[in-house]
Amino acid sequence: MHAVRIYRQPAEVSERLAPFGITPAEVQPLIEAVVAARNDVVSADARTAGGLKAYLAGVRHLRFLFLPKGWTSDCTDGVESVVHDATGMRIVYQSVDQACIGVRGPQAISGKGPAAETAIKLSQGVLFSEEELPEVAPEKIADLNSTLWFLCVSVNEEDEDDVRAELSLPAAIRGGNFKGFLERIFIVRDGDWKARGPAVSLPDDDGAYEFSIARK
């Protein structure tokens, strides 16, 4: 058995993100947008308003990031994502409890439904036996024809400087949440957010390019 592969150091993170066509710095506008949307609530709002706004901002800016790079929007079975047609890779935005903790994987705050579970099974789970999950040899991961990744962002309600993000490949979904991971790429680790440079400019929504979403 092989332990989950985790990329932590800046050089290896940048190298691992290269096949996706992005850099850690390019992910910052997405995270900024998620944090801003999450904080854009008042006491009269519904209890779930912050989380919903964060999710919507995450999906929007995930597409702002990837569509100019040749990816396309997808909403197969209601799972909002971007997909790289040539490789079959898909990426979904996900708000999680805590990202970038090596001893435990992130858990989706809202839980995952049967559509996401099926999507993961179709993308990566079908190649592995129950005994192999969540620890799978790296060479088997490389042989996958398509993969379903999650861009996980966590925001600590008690500490505004504790914001983290990782791009991770879950092994499966069981009981409505992630069960193990095959790979985890730590993009914004503990302490990185506080030490970051000035806020980057976000895309102007009014001037954003038009795109269509494939719904299957």
In a domain, 206, yes or no: no
In a domain, 138, yes or no: yes
125-142: b (≥16 Cβ within 10 Å) or e: beebeeebbbbbeeeebe
Residues paired with 213 in a beta bridge: 73
pLDDT at res. 127: 43
Q: What is the average pLDDT across 188-211?
A: 68
In a domain, 210, yes or no: no
In a domain, 33, yes or no: yes
pLDDT at res. 180: 85
In a domain, 175, yes or no: yes
What domain range includes position 47?
5-195
Residue 10 burial (CB count, 10 A): 13
Q: Is the pLDDT at 210 greater than 80, yes or no?
A: no
Three-state SS for 60? helix
Q: Tell me how far apart the alpha carbons of residues 126 and 165 are, in angstroms, rounded to a whole number.
A: 27
pTM over 0.75: yes
In a domain, 98, yes or no: yes
pLDDT at res. 118: 64
Note the helical H segments in 165-204.
none
Share of the chain above pLDDT 90, in %: 55
**Nearest-5° angle of CA 77, CA 78, CA 83?**
80
| Angstrom distances, CA of residue 176 to CA of 104, 109, 113, 136, 157 | 17, 10, 6, 21, 23
pLDDT at res. 137: 47
Q: How far apart are the first and last CA of the chain?
A: 36
Q: For the chain, how many structural domains are there in total?
A: 1
Q: What is the average pLDDT across 161-189?
A: 90
pLDDT at res. 208: 53
In a domain, 79, yes or no: yes
Model confidence pLDDT, tens digit, residues 16-65:
999 999 999 999 999 999 999 999 999 999 999 999 999 999 999 999 99
Q: How confident is the model at residue 105 (pLDDT cuts 50, 70, 90)?
A: very high
Residues paired with 181 in a beta bridge: 170
In a domain, 88, yes or no: yes
Residue 28 burial (CB count, 10 A): 20
pLDDT at res. 12: 97
Q: Tell me how far apart the alpha carbons of residues 167 and 56 are, in angstroms, rounded to a whole number.
A: 18
The answer to whether 169 and 183 have CB atoms below 8 angstroms apart is yes
